[in-house]
Amino acid sequence: MRHIISILIENEAGALSRVSGLFSARAFNIESLTVAPTEDASLSRMTIVSTGSDEVIEQITKQLNKLIDVVKVVDLSEAAHIERELMLVKVRAAGKDREEMKRIADIFRGRIIDVTDSTYVIELTGNGSKLDAFLDAIDRSLILETVRTGVSGIGRGDRILKV
């Protein structure tokens, strides 16, 4: 099962390596990991996407909680939540492809944020499958470069992860 785990962690040097080291040392799997400081600069928020049986996920959350720098851990996927990922795609956009590329970007509510004679950079947000669908919808040979942030997630409604 795929789980999205959100972590509030002290914004200290080496905090990321404590988390990533834990995953590799205990043979837990990481599909994606994002991290950045929160509105309180002393805290960072991490979102980790992992897969595993219920027992494995239980161990992951327990082991994360055991890290001294970790303030809070929540398995977002246990209840209603929103997940988003940002992707930047650089595509060839010349000749007949140029208009088509713009149209598909519009359909996916992507934004073109860089333009040259022959290329576009398209910015796209959504869940992972939407980003995948976009890549499937355009001509693969036109993709020059992609970069994805990995999933960020937040609980819906009253579910709040805060100190």
Q: Which residue in 163, 156, 159 sits closest to 38, CA to CA? A: 163
Q: Which is nearer to another protein, 62 or 156 (CB)?
A: 62
Q: Which is nearer to another protein, 18 or 81 (CB)?
A: 18
What whole-number distance in Å separates Cα of residue 90 and Cα of residue 63?
39
Phi, psi of 65 (to 5 degrees): -60, -30
- Which stretch in 15-23, 45-53, 95-103, 106-114 sits in contact with another protein by CB under 8 A? 15-23
**Window 19 to 78, contacts with another protein (CB under 8 A):** 21, 25, 55, 58-59, 62-63, 65-66, 68-71
Report if residue 111 touches another protein, rule: CB under 8 A.
no
Q: Contact 74/45 with Cβ under 8 angstroms?
A: no
Round to the nearest angstrom and report the end-to-end CA distance of the chain: 28
* Local structure of 111: helix, strand or coil: strand
Q: Which is nearer to another protein, 71 or 104 (CB)?
A: 71
Q: Which is nearer to another protein, 21 or 118 (CB)?
A: 21
Q: Contact 120/93 with Cβ under 8 angstroms?
A: yes
> Can you give the binding site for another protein, defined by CB under 8 A?
9-10, 13-14, 17-18, 21, 25, 55, 58-59, 62-63, 65-66, 68-71, 163
